[in-house]
Amino acid sequence: MGQHPTFRKNVTRAVPERSRRFIKKYLVAEIDRQDVKDVIEFMEERAEIHNEIVEWNCQDYCLEALEGLRENFLISDDDENYEDGIGKTKEYYGPG
């Protein structure tokens, strides 16, 4: 939430589709029930915000967090939805 250089995490249990800012969502992975707590902990405690990088934004946060979840074996890039979902998500990211 916010903008450079004051991005901060905003943990909410809201339904994204109800937000006027909602655009679209894509399935990128299925989370095993036993991993849900670890995924929440990762997002709240270990997913990083890089306010020191001027060009960094919330889309970077999401993509880097997904990569971190994959690196920590909380989601799998073998999941048939991962590459397809990430690719579709990047279509909304803007110029690379």
pLDDT tens readout for residues 24-38 = 899 999 999 999 999
Under 8 Å CB-to-CB from 43, ≥6 apart: which residues?
Answer: 11, 65
The model's pLDDT over 7-58, given as tens digits with 9 standing for 90+, comes to 888 878 899 899 998 888 999 999 999 999 999 999 999 999 999 989 888 8
**pTM metric for this prediction:** 0.81
Q: Where are the domains of the chain?
A: 16-91
Give the confidence band of 4 by pLDDT, cuts at 50, 70, 90.
confident
- Amino acid identity of residue 7, one-letter, is F
- Pick from 73, 71, 75: nearest CA to 31: 75
Token pair listed for 11: 């943990």
- DSSP annotation of 35 reads G
